[in-house]
Structure 1
Amino acid sequence: MLLPLAGPMPRTSSRVRALTAAAAAALLALPLTGCADFSDQDRSRQAGPFSSVPERGGPGQDQPPPPDTEETDPPKGPCVDPNPAVIATCLGTTGGVRPADPAGKTTYVAERRTGKIIISKRYGPQREVAAVPVDGGGDGGLIDFELSPTYLQDQMIYALITTGEDNRIVRIAPGNSVKPILTGIPKGATGNMGSISFVSPSELRVATGNAGNPGAANDPSSLAGKIFSIDPDAPAPRPTMIAAGFGSNVALCPDPLSGTLFVADSGPAGDRLQQVEAGGLRLLWSWADRPGVTGCAVTEGVISVSIASKFRIDSLTAPTNANPTVSEPQASDVKEQFGAVGRMSTFGAAAQIATINKSVPGAPPTTTNDRVAIFAGSASAEDRT
């Protein structure tokens, strides 16, 4: 079942993108304190919004200098990876990943099972900048996260997490104070992996898995297997439905240049890459053999889709008005270089990729797993002219 969009998908503002990149240095300075438990989250939900959050759009602060990304001589130790594309090592099983500087040499990445958000660059330093209690069983845990679009003012991080009762959207304030924003997203033994992405400061886009229940994805009363948006600052945000019918491992991949939204998932009919349009969803490509898509990213007109179980990344030329179909995927074998790749995120002409070798059978037993690396894409997407 396809649910029509309320209107065309807005393009992420340049201000949102600039503030997100600039926040990397501020993340390095976040204090490390203890975590709240789930009962604290539920109590805080009844207490109303944080009183200390500045009003969005208020006066800006001086931007901190960009993080130091100069390479140093390789240190010695078990977490030094010889692959020059690798920028973070010795991580737990990863969830979402985001570039932390415009050049993509610094990253912040979620450890899905521990609930930690780590910031790192090649050869360090590596720091925990936030932590939230999660249920990391199955494919749940700290699934994805986003910095607030006004992070330099409010220092908030938003996350899609799994608890003992549900999947939910939470807001993490300095000091690891966790406040539920939207609760009650169905949780299952599998099918919890989803994705979040800011469209604007007042619109957070959310994609959810079907929680192991294909019927829930087409049930309008369920938040499973859907794409919807919420205003994260509303006292009780009400989801605005965008599309339905998704399977597991749902990954959003917005095109940073055009604003077009693509989504990859593993559905009952096979693994798919779809485009979100004003009238619903348009199927662009399907993998009938169901290899298991795990992430996607768009870089300069090329859509890259990670397929962890096959240790490859498939690249397709994105559709245009002149050529509305995608190219046949061009496969990049990444087993030897990276292993099993999960989530991906765009920066410039490349993408950051997070490996999930610790959770994929047959993955290379690299001592520096799990890792974040830079993926420049296949040599070229197929020329359709």
Structure 2
Amino acid sequence: MRTLGGVTRGARALVAASACLLLAACGGGYTPSGPFREVQDAPGPQVGPPSATAPAPAPGDPSPGTGQEQEGDPNVLATDLAVPTGLVLLPDGTGVVAERETGRLLKVFPDRSPAQELMVVPGVDTTGDGGLLGLALSPTFAQDGLFYAYLSTATDNRVVRFPLGGTPNPVVTGIPRGETRNGGGLVFGVDGTLYVGTGDTGDARLAQDPTSLAGKVLAYDVFGQPVGAGPVYSSGLSDVKGLCLGADGAVFATDDSATGADELNRLVADGDYGSPVALPGSLPAVLSVPGEAGGLSGCALSGSFVFLGALDGRQVVLATLGPDGAPVEEPQPFLADEYGRLRTVLVDPEGALWITTSNTDGIGSPAEDDDKVLRIQPPASDATSPL
């Protein structure tokens, strides 16, 4: 396991080479009202599949056909957002970003055209650090145009699905909800399994409580039916805000610890990751980041390269994994202190990073035009220097 040390501003690092059944006694007091029943998704405006377009321009390129150069920071695609958290990339090269504080979904363009509001997801409760927390595309998005979202209500955290402009239908309900540490990671596996990252809601004991959905990564099919023996896939996690897939289809999770170092974990079925206490058989982290440099949130993998959004560290943490899955050298900082708190990270087909800032969350120090969505190429690898 490698550990990230102090932060050196402006260090250059890597290059992206390629692009139960809910449980009957769930923590938080949830009692299921009955088995999941499929509800027909309410129709919305026809949105997909999105049409193909020319390859997305590099950051700062002028908008095609406008005859005008774009002004301002060429890495900034959108500004004046309210804590952008969920982010997905559409097949046409555009992005959709979800605002935690408002429930809005906005379309964001790589040519830096003005963002377009698409809809407001109803029923979102933003008390504490709750809100609209995660976003994913249906594995059959080209056919059904469905979005999946992880959100907080007044009584629980849940996963819903909807077409743009349509009514959200519940997929998973009864995930414990707290004032803090509500998780929110979503990713679909290569086999179509929906993985859901949750937080321990401020009660660390729930992470290793087999009767609770808190502090876990859960696994469901697209209809919300548990995959395997039950919904709990991995346990012993503090606050899973980010989930991502490796080149081999493995699922990785960022874990933002309340007391110690933050972690990137490679998940295995029935694995325990040692929060709040290391148990016999608890699994080690792939990567550990001290809390002052971490606050790990989003994660993305491209080939052997790892990109982690670090809220407290105000950077993207970059690492390279070797054939054994362990880091081959010390992790590096990218964008340290340049845009403030950095949350969600994705890699597009051209190898560029899409990143959301999180400076209007009540913790950061927002600039006049925060928050933002960025698109920027990863740094070159010919001048790497350890932290």
Q: Evaluate the alpha carbon distance shift between residue 108 and residue 228 of structure 1 in structure 2; reply closer, same or farther with a 3 A threshold.
A: same
Q: CA RMSD in A?
A: 3.2
Alignment of 1:21-32 (within 5 A): none
- Among 102, 107, 115, the alignment partner of 1:114 is 102
Query: 2:244 is aligned with what amino acid?
Result: C
Structure 1 counterpart of 2:153: 163
CA offset digits 1:294-340 (Å, max 9, x no partner): 2221123111222222322221112323x74442111124323x221
Query: Normalized against structure 1, the TM-score is what?
Result: 0.75
Conservation of the 8 A alpha-carbon contact between 1:315 and 1:378? no
Conservation of the 8 A alpha-carbon contact between 1:285 and 1:326? no
Conservation of the 8 A alpha-carbon contact between 2:263 and 2:287? yes
% identical equivalent positions: 30
User: 1:146 Cα deviation (Å)?
Assistant: 1.2
Is 2:330 the partner of 1:302?
Answer: no
Conservation of the 8 A alpha-carbon contact between 1:75 and 1:123? no
Structure 2 counterpart of 1:199: 189
Is 2:228 the partner of 1:242?
Answer: no
- Of residues 227-236 and 159-168 in structure 1, the stretch that sits farther from structure 2 once superposed is 227-236
Structure 2 counterpart of 1:342: 343
Higher strand share: 1
Structure 2 counterpart of 1:330: 332
Structure 1 counterpart of 2:321: 318
Q: SS of 2:256's equivalent?
A: strand
CA distance in 2 between partners of 1:74 and 1:184 (Å):
52
User: 1:200 Cα deviation (Å)?
Assistant: 4.8
Query: Normalized against structure 2, the TM-score is what?
Result: 0.74
Structure 1 counterpart of 2:137: 147
Alignment of 1:75-94 (within 5 A): 82-94=72-84
Query: 2:309 is aligned with what amino acid?
Result: S
Q: How many matched pairs?
A: 326
CA distance in 2 between partners of 1:308 and 1:81 (Å):
27
Structure 1 counterpart of 2:374: 373
Structure 2 counterpart of 1:64: 51
User: 1:214 Cα deviation (Å)?
Assistant: 0.5
CA distance in 2 between partners of 1:278 and 1:140 (Å):
27
Structure 1 counterpart of 2:126: 136
Q: SS of 2:206's equivalent?
A: helix
Structure 1 counterpart of 2:7: none
CA offset digits 1:235-262 (Å, max 9, x no partner): 788853221111125311212x322322
Is 2:115 the partner of 1:126?
Answer: yes
CA distance in 2 between partners of 1:65 and 1:248 (Å):
37
Structure 2 counterpart of 1:16: none
- Of residues 283-292 and 187-196 in structure 1, the stretch that sits farther from structure 2 once superposed is 283-292
Q: Kindly indicate whether structure 1 or structure 2 has the higher relative contact order, using CA contacts under 8 Å at least 6 residues apart.
A: 2
Conservation of the 8 A alpha-carbon contact between 1:340 and 1:360? no
CA distance in 1 between partners of 2:240 and 2:36 (Å):
31
Conservation of the 8 A alpha-carbon contact between 1:88 and 1:107? no
CA distance in 2 between partners of 1:346 and 1:130 (Å):
25
Conservation of the 8 A alpha-carbon contact between 2:89 and 2:348? yes
CA distance in 2 between partners of 1:74 and 1:215 (Å):
59
- Of residues 127-136 and 286-295 in structure 1, the stretch that sits farther from structure 2 once superposed is 286-295
Query: 1:119 is aligned with what amino acid?
Result: K
Conservation of the 8 A alpha-carbon contact between 1:98 and 1:352? no
CA distance in 2 between partners of 1:123 and 1:351 (Å):
15
CA offset digits 1:54-104 (Å, max 9, x no partner): xxxxxxx9872327856336979xxx86111112222111111122347x5
- Among 229, 234, 249, the alignment partner of 1:259 is 249
User: 1:360 Cα deviation (Å)?
Assistant: 5.4
Q: SS of 1:358's equivalent?
A: coil
